[in-house]
Structure 1
Amino acid sequence: MIRAVKSKPFNYIFALYNHYYLLRRRFRSFTLTGSLDPQVDIRDNSPIEPTRPVIYFMNHSSWWDGLLLYHAARQTSRGDHYVMMEEQQLQQYAFFRKLGAYSINKESASGIRTSLQYTSELLDSGKRVWIFPQGEILHQEARPIRFRPGIGLLLRRSPNAIAVPVTLCHGMVQHDRPEISMQAGPPVLEDWKALKSEEIAARLGHVLEQQLDDHRSALVRMGQGSLPDALPLIRHVRSTSEKYDAARKRVNR
């Protein structure tokens, strides 16, 4: 297993590169609805301690997902974030270790156990971990959403952890560049040890599927690439048509 080796100087440089070169050159907008820092237990409206460990579980529908969540966490969260990544990919892009990525080898039972143990150690020390429980990149319209049992094993090992559903919707609506909408849903808190791993995986898979369906439906109703009152995570980039319209106005003055 490949462990994360975070580097503050490298994080600082890469965050600028990711923001201004990668994301702003590829996307018209990237917005966030909801908070990546869970604050209230919706079961009884009691406050959530900011030091509690968090597992973010997200749909995995594009190559960009890791860079998008990295940017969102850097921009909006106070927590110390880590990301589980396929071992073959991390071997190829080893610099992601410096950003908080660590590996899992899904082809090895011992490798899976080692990665789950490492994840538990991160959570038990108050870290925040992002995982893609579908286990592979799938189209955002693929249904049903089925999770592998690893997320259940993690929550049973770290029963104090909070599970936060995060959905990503991307598409091209009225402009020539894709727009990305991220939504962080209400935190899920349960007596994880009282549930089997498969039950947890099934339950959280249903939670994410419902949130993703609602997220997509809201965007479709609006005919836009972002939700109302969403927080912009990159500065709005004008599309080709907007640049053309602006040029025409200048010429016609």
Structure 2
Amino acid sequence: MNLPTISTPMLRFFRRIVRGYFRRHFHAVRIAHVERFKGVAGPLIVYANHSSWWDPMVSVLLAAELMPKRKHYAPMDDAALEKYGILKRLGIFPVEATTARGAVQFLRTGEAILESGGVLWVTPQGRFADPRERPLEFKAGMAALAARVASKIGTCTLLPLAIEYPFWDERLPETLLCFAAPVIVHPGESAEAIQQRSIVAMEQALNELKGKSIARDPAAFDVLARGSLGTGGFYAMGKRIRAFVTRRPYVAEHTPMQEMPK
């Protein structure tokens, strides 16, 4: 089976756009347990909660910054994909979301991707949902795919990614990310058991990220990307004038944050 198309020049161009988007619209992109993503080898499905339009952009940024040597793919509703033609050349493949044919499409394409060494990104909730919503409900496709791949290759890794976009002390929001411990799928495990384990792991990731978000402690994260600083406008101008008059360093941020040491 032919893999979804990835145009290297188009992907490079799109990644540059995505980096610019995060710089302009967020104070920072912060990530917890980054080592759980960077250290994975073999068939890998990254699955995330789906609370915002920004979620696919997060996957593009993570792939570019943390795992650039592997090829990355994701499914998208076929009707929606028709509106964004550029995505067809970036590893995004169409799936009929509500039909049996669509389920077969997803399984066949996903299997080919994972067998080729590619990484598959999915949002198994299949809809926008608040990250605090419980109980979590997943579509069946991801678990069925993991079971099929494990039976052929030996194992398949499901890696939960929790995402939030809270406002902390600055004008712009934060992008907060947290990877949970991976779910390792072995041959012979049923799709139902995989489904349940993947839901539990995602709930753990979401709960941990919620706690870190409430604590507002930047030291709990690594900084993946930095965005715009300060409040802008007349307020920022006033801070600059005051810093000049008092001969003190100008600090753009409303509340300077202590980052986690590298």
Instruction: Name the TM-score, length of structure 2 as normaliser.
Output: 0.83
Which one of 191, 211, 214 corresponds to residue 217 of structure 1?
211
User: Corresponding residue for 1:25?
Assistant: 24
> Which of 53, 63, 66 does residue 73 from structure 1 map onto?
63
Conserved? CA contact 1:3–1:101, under 8 Å: no
Residue 243 (structure 1) aligned with residue 248 (structure 2): no
Unaligned residue ranges in structure 1 (runs of 5+): 40-47
**Which residue identity lines up with residue 57 of structure 2 in the other structure?**
L
Q: Partner residue of 1:12?
A: 12
Tell me the SS of whatever aligns to 1:238.
coil
Q: In 2 relative to 1, CA 119–26 (structure 1 residues): closer, same or farther, beyond 3 Å?
A: same
Higher CA-based Rg? 2
> How far apart are 1:62 and its partner, in Å?
0.2
| Structure 2 residues without counterparts, runs of 5 or longer | 248-262
Q: Give the corresponding residue for 1:231.
A: 222
**C-alpha displacement at 1:218, in angstroms?**
2.0
Look up the SS of the partner of 1:152 in the other structure. Answer: helix
Aligned to 1:193: 188
Q: 2 CA distance for matches of 1:212 and 1:119?
A: 25
**2:79 is aligned with 1:88:** yes
Q: Structure 1's 38 and 72: CA in aligned 2 closer, same or farther, altered over 3 A?
A: closer
Instruction: Compute the displacement of 1:201 (Å).
Output: 1.4
Deviations 1:189-220 (A, max 9, x none): 1325322x233212211110121111111221
Aligned pairs (5 A) from 1:92-241: 92-159=83-150, 160-195=155-190, 197-221=191-215, 223-224=216-217, 226=218, 228=220, 230-240=221-231
2:225 is paired with a residue of what secondary structure? Answer: coil
Q: Determine the C-alpha separation between the residues in 1 that align with 2:241 and 2:163.
A: 33
Closer, same or farther: CA 115–140 of 1 in aligned 2, 3 Å: same
Matched AA of 2:53: W
Give aligned pairs, total: 237
CA 1:192–1:216: 2 relative to 1, 3 Å: farther
Contact kept, 8 Å, 1:38 with 1:187, in 2: the verdict is no
Cα RMSD of the aligned pairs, angstroms, is 2.1
Q: Percent of counterpart pairs with the same letter?
A: 24
Using the TM superposition, give the Cα deviation of residue 128 of structure 1 relative to its aligned residue in structure 2, in angstroms: 0.6
Q: Please tell me whether the aligned partners of residues 171 and 231 of structure 2 are also in contact (alpha carbons under 8 angstroms).
A: yes
* CA distance, structure 1, for counterparts of residue 122 and residue 212 of structure 2: 25
Q: Distance in 1 between matches of 2:164 and 2:228?
A: 18
Secondary structure of 2:164's counterpart equals strand
Q: Deviations over 1:152-193 (max 9, x none)?
A: 110111012211111112111111111001122222113253
Q: Which runs of 4+ in 1 moved over 4 A?
A: none
Q: Could you state the TM-score of these two structures normalised by the residue count of structure 1?
A: 0.86
Distance of 1:23 and 1:38 partners within structure 2: 21
Residues 108 and 144 of structure 1, relative CA distance in 2, 3 Å threshold: same
Residue 31 of structure 2 aligns to a residue whose secondary structure is: strand
* Equivalent residue, structure 1, for 2:50: 60
Equivalent residues of 2:106, 2:141 under 8 A apart: no
